[in-house]
């Protein structure tokens, strides 16, 4: 397990949903788990700007750096704050993903999966803009890093969140080597994620959205995972799977679909042996 940052506050106040308490509560939940003794904690490293450019436009990266350097509070949109800590926190979050990939894909690897608890999250981050609490798209960066450093060609990204991962979808929408699927409430923020959004060009058919009505409970997700997603994953034949989840500690405030993301994720791991789990958005 990799935790990217506890104390650096990338948002204006603890009243904001994306605040340092998210990671503190995740750590408390993991430590209270009966299997906590089997978890190895590893420190992340800070990603380099050139690595962030695998996904993000250099001008956008510079903008985040400049805003952070000012030391004051700025907003990319009504939800997404940037302060003096944001840039370094975002580099550390991406670097945590890279560190985990090094551990499971590098020479002499003894692990087959890792869990990254990081902030800021990522799946609403586009190549040239951030939104929905997200600065850099950690899942997309992880996929690019695995491809460029380790030659991993076919990658599946499975996204579980109240909200559709619009940034991740857009980044890979024309890529037939990345299969992206999203479980989310619909209609809901950010307004995308309909079943008709299936990819374009070479990526047609490699984007699957599973929109759920408010009030949907965990058994419906399990059935969708087993009957729809897993057969498609088997057909796609990914070399690596990235699971993007959102913190359970924000569920009651932000959504009306009721499932335990940690509990659901543990069930997923029973079906998917080699995977990466990182926060969504």
Query: Which residues have C-beta within 8 Å of that of residue 224, sequence separation ≥ 6?
Result: 183, 210
Number of H helices, E strands in the chain: 10, 9
Kindly indicate the confidence band of residue 275, based on its pLDDT and cuts at 50, 70 and 90.
low
Mean pLDDT computed over 214-218: 80
Instruction: Choose among 247, 35, 4: nearest CA to 138.
Output: 4
Please state the length of the chain. 281
3-state secondary structure of 90: helix
Element holding 88 (H helix, E strand): helix 86-105
Which three-class secondary structure state does DSSP give residue 155? Answer: strand
Q: What's the rounded Cα separation, in Å, for the pair 257 and 185?
A: 7
For 104-126, the pLDDT digits (tens) are 999 988 888 888 988 899 999 99
List the one residue out of 258, 217, 261, 16 whose CA is nearest residue 115: 261
**Position 239 pLDDT exceeds 70:** yes
**DSSP for 230-271?**
HHHHHHH--SEEEEEE--GGGHHHH-S-B--HHHHHHHHHHH
Tokens of 210: 């599973």
- 8-state DSSP, 152: -
Average of per-residue pLDDT across 225-254? 76
Catalytic residue among 56, 123, 124, 164: 124
The answer to whether residues 212 and 259 touch, using CB atoms and an 8 Å cutoff, is no
pLDDT at 22: 80
Element (H, E) at 172: helix 166-172
- Please state the rounded mean pLDDT for residues 83-103: 94
Cβ–Cβ under 8 Å, residues 242 and 276:
yes
DSSP H or E run through 143:
helix 138-150
Which residues lie across from 244 on neighbouring strands? 159, 278
- Asked whether residue 262 carries a pLDDT value surpassing 80, the answer given is no
Angle at 199 between CA 195 and CA 201, to 5 degrees: 150
Q: What is the pLDDT of residue 264?
A: 58
Q: What's the CA angle centered on 116, arms 35 and 188, to 5 degrees?
A: 110
Residue 201 is encoded by which pair of tokens? 């060009």
Residues 21-46 have pLDDT tens digits of 888 888 888 888 888 898 899 999 99
Tell me the pLDDT tens digit for each residue of 125-143: 999 999 999 999 999 999 9
Q: What pLDDT shows up at residue 6?
A: 52
- 188 is annotated as an active-site residue: no
Nearest CA to 230 out of 181, 163, 177 is that of 181
* The CATH fold of domain 2-279: 3.40.800
What does the mean pLDDT of the chain come to? 86
Q: For residue 58, what pLDDT is reported?
A: 98
**pLDDT over 70 percentage in the chain:** 83
Tens of pLDDT along 41-89?
999 999 999 999 999 999 999 999 999 999 999 999 998 999 999 999 9
pLDDT for 204 equals 98
Phi first, then psi: what are they for 279, rounded to 5°? Answer: -60, 150
């Amino acid at each position: 397990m990799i935790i990217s940052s506890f104390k650096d506050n990338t948002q204006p106040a603890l009243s904001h949903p994306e605040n340092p308490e998210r990671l503190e509560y995740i750590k408390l939940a993991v430590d209270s788990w009966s299997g906590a003794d089997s978890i190895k904690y590893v420190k992340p490293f800070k990603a380099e700007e050139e690595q962030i450019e695998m996904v993000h436009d250099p001008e956008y990266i510079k903008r985040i750096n400049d805003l952070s350097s000012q030391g004051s509070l700025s907003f990319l949109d009504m939800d997404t704050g940037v302060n003096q800590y944001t840039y370094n926190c975002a580099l550390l979050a991406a670097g945590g993903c890279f560190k985990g990939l090094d551990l499971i894909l590098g020479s002499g690897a003894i692990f087959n999966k890792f869990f990254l608890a990081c902030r800021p999250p990522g799946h609403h981050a586009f190549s040239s803009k951030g939104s929905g609490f997200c600065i850099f798209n950690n899942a997309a960066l992880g996929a690019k890093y695995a491809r460029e450093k380790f030659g991993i060609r076919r990658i599946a990204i499975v996204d579980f969140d109240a909200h559709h991962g619009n940034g991740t979808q857009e980044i890979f929408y024309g890529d037939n080597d990345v299969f992206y699927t999203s479980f989310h409430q619909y209609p809901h923020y950010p307004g995308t994620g309909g079943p008709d959004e299936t990819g374009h060009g070479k990526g047609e058919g490699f984007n699957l959205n599973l929109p759920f009505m408010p009030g949907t409970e965990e058994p419906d997700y399990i059935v969708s995972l087993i009957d729809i997603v897993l057969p498609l994953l088997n057909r796609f034949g990914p070399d690596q799977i990235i699971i993007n989840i959102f913190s359970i500690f924000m569920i009651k405030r932000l959504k009306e679909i009721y499932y335990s993301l940690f509990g659901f994720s543990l069930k997923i791991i029973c079906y998917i042996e080699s995977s990466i789990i990182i926060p969504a958005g």
